[in-house]
Amino acid sequence: MSTKPNLRLVLVGARGRMGQAVATAAAAAGATVVASLDDGDNLAAGMAAGDVVIDFSSHAATAEVIRLAVAARKPLVIGTTGHPAAEKKRLLAKAAKVPCVWAGNFSVGVNLLFALTRRATKILGAEYDTEVVEMHHRLKKDAPSGTAARLLEIILEERKLTAAALRHGRSGITGARTATEVGVHALRGGDVVGDHTVMFAGPGERIELTHKASDRGIFARGALRAARWVVGQQPGLYDMQDVLGLK
């Protein structure tokens, strides 16, 4: 990947799985990590040196990361997931004061899955019962995944439904499935990097769109691509569809 050689990166969550994957991808692409920040470090001091801040830490850290990046006028790439919807809305408004790419998933394949899910939902409509199933490694702290959350947003938008339509797992005497509900199921186990399936079950047929990640390098390389792209953009919110030119 041809990351601008002199891009200076600030990593937040640097000791984590994704932080390490970004550092590895940056080294391979000739970008320089000028600050590796993690819980307990002085984020403000670390941020000063970089061209762009990449955050893969904890949802609890995002408000502070945004506050400091806005104060320092640093472009942002945010990959952290797990924010409650109302909090995310508030954070997005604040992040828009600098150029910010915010994506629940930085892989090219998953961004294609987003586009295919929108198209399939539009074509198949309410006659096809739609369920989202995701599986991740046993250490993942939030559920459903940020990618599943984005898939659900797309389905709800196309079906003109609200979050009240979501059914997170089912248990007990649930009654028959209604046409307007959208099921969500989060599986956890082993070292699964990230699997997502969107299922459309209709009369006499079933369509499944599946993406399986086997290496978190795909997210790291996507985040680097976003970092290179976001430097020099106007302040505002962007996603990987912008970075990849899919809009």
Q: Which residue has the tokens 């956890």?
A: 188
Q: Among the candidate windows 99-107, 116-124, 166-174, 181-189, which touches ligand NAD by CB under 6 A?
A: 99-107
Do residues 126 and 159 make contact, with C-beta atoms less than 8 angstroms apart? yes
Per CB under 6 A, the segment of 54-62, 93-101, 148-156, 203-211 that binds ligand NAD is 54-62
The least distance separating ligand NAD from the CB of residue 120, rounded to whole angstroms, comes to 22
CA–CA gap between residue 112 and residue 101 (Å, rounded) = 17
Q: Is 80 in the site for ligand NAD (CB under 6 A)?
A: yes
Work out whether 24 is an interface residue with ligand NAD (CB under 6 A): no
Return the number of the residue (129 or 197) whose C-beta is nearest ligand NAD. 197
Contact between 217 and ligand NAD by CB under 6 A: the answer reads no
Q: Which residue is nearest to ligand NAD (CB)?
A: 16
Regarding 125 and contact with ligand NAD (CB under 6 A), the answer is no
Q: Which of 74, 88, 136, 196 is catalytic?
A: 136
Check residue 105 for interaction with ligand NAD (CB under 6 A): yes
136 catalytic? Reply is: yes
| Candidate list 103, 113, 156, 226; residue touching ligand NAD; CB under 6 A | 103
Q: Which residue has the tokens 């309410």?
A: 126
Does residue 140 have an active-site annotation? yes
**Are residues 114 and 244 in contact, defined by beta-carbon separation less than 8 angstroms?**
no
Which run of H or of E encompasses 50?
Answer: none
In the chain, beta strands by DSSP E: 8-12, 32-37, 52-55, 76-78, 99-102, 129-136, 166-168, 182-188, 194-202, 205-213, 236-238
How many angstroms from the chain centroid is the CA of residue 206?
27
What does the DSSP assignment read for 231-247? TTPPSEEE-HHHHTT--
Question: What is the smallest separation between the CB atom of 222 and ligand NAD, expressed in angstroms?
Answer: 7
Question: Closer CB to ligand NAD, residue 31 or residue 37?
Answer: 37
DSSP 8-state symbol, 178: P
Interaction between residue 67 and ligand NAD (CB under 6 A): no
The partner residues of 168 in beta bridges, in order of sequence, read 184
18 counts as binding ligand NAD under rule CB under 6 A: yes
Name the burial class of residue 79, with classes exposed (0-12), middle (13-18) and buried (19+) by CB atoms within 10 angstroms of its CB.
buried
Binder of ligand NAD out of 7, 13, 99, 130 (CB under 6 A)? 13
Name the residues annotated as catalytic. Answer: 136, 140
Binding residues for ligand NAD, rule: CB under 6 A, are: 12-13, 15-19, 37-39, 56-58, 61, 79-82, 103-106, 142, 146, 216, 219
